[in-house]
C-alpha cells in the first residue's frame, strides 16, 4: 500500500550559488558528511548535491505535514550498482517505524540545468 508520493525539481545552478556563497556551514545543515564527501568526489559535485537536496525535499513531500524531519536525518546513498537509496536516521527512522513504512523508493535524474527526484513510500 502506498503511503505517500513526493517529487521535487531543482535548478543545479542554485545549489552551486548557495554552496559557493555560504560554504561548508550551508552544506552541513543539509547534508551528512558522507553525502558531502561523495558529491565532492564526483566530476560535477553541484549536480550531485542538487539531486540529493531534491530527494530530501521529495521525501518531505511524501511524508506530508505529519512530522518534522531534519534534512540530515535523510541520507541519500547509492547501492554498488549505482541505484540511489534513502537511509533513514533519527526522526525519520522513528517516523518510518511509527507509520510502518517498509520501503522507500527513490529515483533521481537530471538534464542540463535541472535535477529531479521522485520518492514513493510504501507500507
Can 110 be counted among the known catalytic residues? yes
* Distance linking the first and last C-alpha atoms of the chain: 5
CA angle 53, 29, 62 (to 5 degrees): 40
| Cell 517516523 found at | 95
Of 21, 89, 110, 112, the catalytic one is 110
Of the listed 61, 87, 89, 99, which one is catalytic?
61
The SS3 call for residue 94 is helix
Provide the grid cell at 101. Answer: 513504512
Active site annotation includes 103: no
* Measured CA angle at 95 (ends 92, 99), to 5 deg: 145
Catalogue the active-site residues: 61, 110
Amino acid at each position: 500500500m502506498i503511503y505517500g508520493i513526493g517529487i521535487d525539481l531543482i535548478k543545479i545552478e542554485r545549489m552551486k550559488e548557495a554552496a559557493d556563497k555560504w560554504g561548508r556551514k550551508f552544506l552541513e545543515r543539509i547534508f551528512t558528511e558522507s553525502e558531502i564527501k561523495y558529491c565532492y568526489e564526483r566530476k560535477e559535485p553541484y549536480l550531485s548535491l542538487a539531486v540529493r537536496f531534491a530527494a530530501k525535499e521529495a521525501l518531505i513531500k511524501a511524508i506530508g505535514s505529519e512530522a518534522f524531519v531534519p534534512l540530515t536525518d535523510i541520507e541519500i546513498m547509492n547501492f554498488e550498482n549505482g541505484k540511489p537509496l534513502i537511509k533513514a536516521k533519527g526522526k525519520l527512522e522513528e517516523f518510518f517505524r511509527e507509520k510502518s513504512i517498509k520501503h522507500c523508493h527513490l529515483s533521481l535524474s537530471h538534464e542540463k540545468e535541472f535535477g529531479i527526484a521522485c520518492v514513493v513510500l510504501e507500507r
